């Protein structure tokens, strides 16, 4: 027969076991935990590393590093030394220190899927961060920085076999690309490229960079606020999405893409240019945005039988009221005759009303 004392002991033990929490999350596979952590800001992810050695290893191998969520004025970063031991917590280190320490403490063989950051830093430090990311086979590199001098893009970025997406946004003075021979022989795996505040002055050999056999698997290209581009020829054979914005000095644009499906050209072309042109040959083009662009002298839109939606608008000045400019606008609309849906902005309607008044004045 069970005594009162043993019964009490058994009940207390059962009650204690019922309150013992079972840690099921920690025993999940790394890939599953990484996916869960991906839902959190990077500061919170770093803080989980103080829980245990298991979580510390998860942080040092976390593949998606988005430092753009950090507040540069108030950052608390948890960093660890290369031996895997717990390091000291810096109360308010800079964003740049946080990035550098995180990359330095990263496990060997742990690839980086995504690295995003924005900062103001010097040439050598930026060069070191980029090279470190390339050594960890980064796939998506997104940089928004401001440097004191022109930054020369490292050759290792161009020759990387792991890089699939590259976004570069440099505040003035900007950055320089490698030579044409290096550029055309690289980026063999790149699928997405975005260049902002690019400086093309005295870089004529780069103007046909996107023509011919360059960028063999590039699917999406974005050029925004690029200075010095007067003539742009885009003919990447795998390109599906092209965006050109705020390139005010553009005089001539040629687009010939057998797989191009979406085209967006906004706030481009120099209005005072006497010889400007547009030539588009894209049999698979479905959506076209042509907004706030100066009216070019000649336009040639060929083989756009797959067009579904087109949004058209112009930036017209009083001196644009010439027969050549009106004919140019007419050619654009004629080339879009296959579009299922055509939207004309108010400026475009004003151009046609001016054209009607121009014709009546002649006759």
Asked if 105 contacts 80 with a C-beta cutoff of 8 angstroms, the reply is yes
Q: What is the pLDDT of residues 239-260, one digit of tens each?
A: 999 999 998 888 899 999 899 9
Q: What is the mean pLDDT of residues 16-32?
A: 72
Q: What pLDDT is attached to residue 19?
A: 52
Q: Is the CA virtual torsion 262, 268, 271, 275 positive or negative?
A: negative
pTM confidence score: 0.82
Compare 51 and 133 and report the one with higher pLDDT.
133
pLDDT at 25: 81
What mean pLDDT do residues 94-112 have? 84
Is residue 346 over pLDDT 80?
Answer: no
236 and 217 in contact (C-beta within 8 Å)?
no
Mean pLDDT over residues 97-125, rounded?
87
Give the whole-number percent of the chain exceeding pLDDT 70.
79
Are β-strands 165-170 and 277-281 bridged in parallel, bridged antiparallel, or unpaired?
unpaired
Sequence-ordered list of residues with C-beta below 8 angstroms from that of 155, at least 6 positions apart, any chain: 178, 182, 186
pLDDT in tens, 74-84: 333 444 333 33
Indicate if the pLDDT at residue 36 is higher than 60: yes
pLDDT tens for 141-174 read: 999 888 777 788 899 999 999 999 999 988 766 6
Tens digit of each residue's pLDDT (9 = 90 or more) over 56-79: 999 999 999 999 887 544 333 444
Rounded to whole angstroms, the Cα distance separating 348 from 264 reads 17
Distances (CA, A) of 233 to 147, 155, 309, 320: 29, 24, 24, 25
């Amino acid at each position: 027969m069970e005594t009162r004392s043993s019964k009490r002991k058994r009940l207390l033990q059962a009650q204690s076991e019922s309150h013992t929490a079972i840690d099921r999350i920690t025993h999940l596979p790394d890939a599953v935990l990484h996916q869960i952590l991906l839902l959190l800001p990077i500061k919170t992810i770093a803080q989980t590393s103080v829980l245990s050695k298991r979580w510390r290893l998860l942080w040092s191998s976390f593949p998606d590093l988005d430092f753009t969520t950090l507040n540069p004025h108030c950052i608390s970063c948890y960093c660890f030394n290369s031996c895997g031991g717990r390091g000291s917590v810096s109360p308010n280190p800079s964003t740049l220190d946080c990035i550098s320490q995180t990359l330095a403490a990263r496990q060997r063989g742990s690839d980086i899927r995504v690295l995003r950051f924005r900062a103001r830093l010097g040439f050598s430090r930026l060069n070191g961060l980029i090279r470190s990311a390339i050594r960890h086979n980064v796939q998506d590199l997104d940089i928004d920085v401001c440097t004191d001098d022109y930054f020369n893009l490292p050759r290792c970025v161009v020759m990387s076999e792991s890089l699939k997406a590259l976004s570069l946004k440099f505040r003035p003075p900007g950055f320089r690309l490698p030579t044409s021979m290096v550029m055309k022989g690289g980026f063999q795996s790149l699928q997405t490229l975005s260049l902002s505040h690019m400086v093309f002055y005295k870089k004529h050999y780069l103007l046909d960079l996107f023509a011919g056999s360059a960028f063999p698997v590039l699917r999406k290209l974005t050029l925004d606020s690029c200075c010095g581009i007067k003539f742009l020829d885009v003919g990447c054979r795998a390109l599906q999405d092209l965006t050109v914005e705020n390139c005010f000095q553009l005089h001539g644009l040629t687009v010939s893409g057998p797989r191009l499906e979406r085209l967006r050209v906004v706030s481009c072309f120099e209005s005072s240019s006497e010889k400007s042109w547009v030539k588009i040959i894209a049999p698979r083009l479905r959506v076209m945005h042509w907004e706030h662009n100066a009216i070019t002298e000649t336009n040639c839109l060929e083989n756009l039988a797959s067009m579904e939606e087109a949004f058209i608008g112009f930036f017209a000045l009083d001196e644009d009221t010439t027969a050549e400019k009106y004919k140019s606008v007419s050619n654009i609309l004629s080339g879009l005759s296959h579009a299922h849906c055509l939207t004309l902005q108010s400026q475009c309607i004003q151009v046609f009303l001016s054209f009607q008044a121009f014709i009546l004045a002649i006759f």
